[in-house]
């Protein structure tokens, strides 16, 4: 069975999240997006845990289900801040639990390291290596994955507080890390160059349930049946891990170098000419993902490992509608057009990846070209930087070949 999964979300108890984030809304908009499985988010937070227990029932495969049967997976994210190798480090890690019993044990362990009630994504002063060691002692079925691995401040490979390799970060626990999560500013084509011999997953890090956030990145599985064992087995081995849905890296908030407050951004080549100094404020630029990739890459641009999976680079549909119709993404007109397409075709990801050009043209002639260009990974985007999202500039002429993927 094919499963499209977004396994990095937050609850309303995490900072900078929607106050209406709930299991109910995640299910509703997950279905609209076209998702088949969603992470619970923040399961160690006491108030969110009460909501999980009230809304979801666990089956014998480690899958939590709503009353209507929609599936969730035990998932949370933690922020580790520590010193290692003479440098301040800050890394976000995703944690997955195989069942309620293990979720309880993980919660108890995290509670022994600090408070759990102040933020859905709690901060602990322990190393990545030690957290992996401790959780694996509880149960090897617990999965730990570095989140948004390239972001400057909290990615395992980040320019500000990360590492140059997984080995440098996880030390003797490196063999317990089976995958990294790409994040908005990177995609597999960039990460393959590190030659880490690791699988790549992609999730949204959603702070709201709206479909322009939820599922904007997701992982595609092809597994015999939906179970925790099959999902984690695919992540660990690559067997059953079919591919990923990514946002174009330039759309991410940290792709290029720059300063948000100075309204200045630059490509890696321009940054080198500037010697890393902002021409506006004359302080060091925040180095983005594109520059950082070149710093630590072991393979040339275009390098592709033998076990590489396919992936899509897709900007969310409401972004496309907003651009073409010159209307606010959360405005009434955008929602009317979006909902009309969903009513006609079923869900967003089907529209973005599968619906044929002639069908799209009959539904909305103004959108068909940009949807196809987006599907082909040819959308022109002004790169994001220093916490500012990238912006669509214009669409390129579409190829005749429909549904071309990164194969």
What is the domain range of residue 12? Answer: 2-250
Residue 405 in this model has a pLDDT that exceeds 50: no
Q: Residue 375: what pLDDT?
A: 96
Query: Scanning the structure block, which residue is given the tokens 């709690």?
Result: 122
More confident residue, 398 or 10: 10
Q: Residue 128: what pLDDT?
A: 98
Q: Write 395-402 long-range contacts (CB < 8 A, 24+).
A: 395/369, 395/370, 397/373, 398/369, 398/372, 398/373, 399/372, 401/376, 402/356, 402/357, 402/372, 402/375
Q: Are both 379 and 245 inside the same structural domain?
A: no
Q: Are 221 and 241 in contact (CB under 8 A)?
A: yes
Number of domains in the chain: 2
In a domain, 75, yes or no: yes
Give the Cα separation of 289 and 304 in Å (integer): 19
Q: Are both 350 and 202 inside the same structural domain?
A: no
Q: Are both 144 and 240 inside the same structural domain?
A: yes
Mean pLDDT across the chain: 95
pTM, 2 dp: 0.94
Q: Residue 185: what pLDDT?
A: 86
For 243-260, what is the mean pLDDT? 95
Query: Scanning the structure block, which residue is given the tokens 């594109």?
Result: 290
First vs last C-alpha separation in the chain = 21
Give the Cα separation of 21 and 151 in Å (integer): 24
In a domain, 190, yes or no: yes
pLDDT in tens, 362-395: 999 999 999 999 999 999 999 999 999 999 997 5
For 300-329, what is the mean pLDDT? 96
Backbone angles phi, psi at 84, to 5 degrees: -155, 135
In a domain, 96, yes or no: yes
| pLDDT classification of 406: cutoffs 50, 70, 90 | very low
The kind and range of the H/E element at 231 are helix 228-237
In a domain, 296, yes or no: no
Q: Are both 235 and 153 inside the same structural domain?
A: yes
Q: Are both 183 and 329 inside the same structural domain?
A: no
Q: Are both 224 and 320 inside the same structural domain?
A: no
**Which residues, 6 or more positions from 55, have their beta carbon under 8 angstroms from its beta carbon?**
22, 23, 24, 66
Give the Cα separation of 266 and 274 in Å (integer): 9
Taking every pair of Cα atoms in the chain, the longest distance, rounded to a whole number of angstroms, is 61
Backbone angles phi, psi at 211, to 5 degrees: -70, -10
In a domain, 306, yes or no: no
| Domain-ending residue, one of 250, 267, 301 | 250
**Which residues, 6 or more positions from 211, have their beta carbon under 8 angstroms from its beta carbon?**
29, 32, 33, 316, 317, 318, 338, 348
Query: Scanning the structure block, which residue is given the tokens 């630059």?
Result: 266
CATH number, position 15: 3.20.20.140
Q: Are both 206 and 331 inside the same structural domain?
A: no
Q: Are both 246 and 326 inside the same structural domain?
A: no
Cα 48 to its chain centre, rounded Å, is 21
| Domain-ending residue, one of 215, 250, 285 | 250
In a domain, 284, yes or no: no
In a domain, 140, yes or no: yes
pLDDT in tens, 219-242: 999 999 999 999 999 999 999 999
Residue 404 in this model has a pLDDT that exceeds 60: no
Residue 401 in this model has a pLDDT that exceeds 70: no
Q: Are both 7 and 136 inside the same structural domain?
A: yes
Residue 398 in this model has a pLDDT that exceeds 90: no
- The Cα-based distances of 21 to 39, 59, 81, 134, 399 in angstroms read 13, 24, 27, 31, 39
Residue 407 in this model has a pLDDT that exceeds 70: no
Give the Cα separation of 18 and 206 in Å (integer): 10
| Domain-ending residue, one of 250, 267, 289 | 250
Query: In percent, how much of the chain has pLDDT > 70?
Result: 97
Q: Are both 235 and 373 inside the same structural domain?
A: no
pLDDT in tens, 19-61: 999 999 999 999 999 999 999 999 999 999 999 999 999 999 9
Q: Are both 245 and 322 inside the same structural domain?
A: no
Q: Are both 232 and 363 inside the same structural domain?
A: no
In a domain, 334, yes or no: yes
For 161-175, what is the mean pLDDT? 97
Q: Residue 63: what pLDDT?
A: 98
Give the Cα separation of 244 and 308 in Å (integer): 11
Please state, as a whole number, how many other Cβ atoms lie within 10 Å of the Cβ of residue 226: 20
Q: Are 202 and 215 in contact (CB under 8 A)?
A: no
């Amino acid at each position: 069975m094919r499963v499209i999964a977004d396994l990095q979300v937050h609850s309303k108890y995490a900072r900078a999240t929607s106050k209406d984030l709930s299991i109910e809304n995640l299910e509703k908009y997950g279905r609209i997006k076209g998702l088949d499985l969603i992470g619970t988010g923040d399961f160690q937070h006491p108030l969110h845990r009460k909501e999980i227990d009230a809304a979801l029932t666990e089956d014998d495969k480690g899958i939590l289900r709503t009353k209507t049967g929609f599936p969730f997976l035990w998932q949370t994210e933690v922020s580790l801040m520590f010193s290692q190798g003479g440098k301040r480090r800050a890394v976000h890690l995703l944690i997955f639990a195989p069942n309620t019993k293990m979720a309880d044990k993980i919660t108890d362990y995290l509670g022994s390291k600090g408070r759990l009630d102040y933020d859905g994504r709690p901060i602990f002063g322990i190393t990545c290596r030690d957290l992996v060691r401790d959780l694996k002692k509880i149960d090897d079925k617990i999965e730990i994955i570095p989140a948004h691995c390239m972001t400057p401040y909290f990615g395992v490979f980040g320019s500000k507080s990360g590492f140059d390799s997984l080995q440098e970060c996880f030390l003797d626990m490196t063999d317990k890390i089976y995958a990294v999560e790409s994040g908005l500013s990177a995609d597999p084509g960039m990460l393959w160059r590190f030659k880490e011999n690791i699988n790549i997953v992609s999730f949204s890090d959603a702070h709201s349930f709206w479909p322009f956030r939820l599922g904007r990145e997701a992982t595609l599985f092809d597994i015999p049946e939906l179970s925790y064992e099959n999902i984690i087995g695919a992540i660990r081995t690559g067997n059953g891990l079919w591919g990923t849905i990514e946002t174009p890296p330039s759309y991410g908030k940290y792709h290029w170098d720059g300063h948000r407050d100075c309204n200045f951004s630059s490509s890696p080549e321009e940054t080198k000419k500037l010697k890393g100094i902002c021409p506006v404020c004359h302080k060091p630029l925040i180095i983005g993902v594109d520059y950082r990739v070149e710093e630590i890459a072991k393979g040339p641009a275009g390098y592709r490992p033998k076990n590489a999976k396919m992936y899509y680079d897709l900007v969310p549909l409401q972004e496309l509608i907003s651009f073409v119709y010159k209307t606010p993404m959360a405005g009434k007109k955008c929602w009317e057009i979006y909902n009309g397409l969903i009513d006609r075709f079923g869900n967003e990801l089907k529209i973005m990846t599968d619906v044929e050009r002639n069908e799209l043209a009959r539904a909305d002639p103004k959108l068909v070209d940009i949807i196809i260009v987006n599907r082909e990974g040819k959308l022109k985007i002004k790169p994001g930087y220093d916490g500012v999202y990238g912006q669509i500039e214009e669409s390129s002429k579409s190829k005749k070949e429909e549904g071309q993927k990164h194969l």
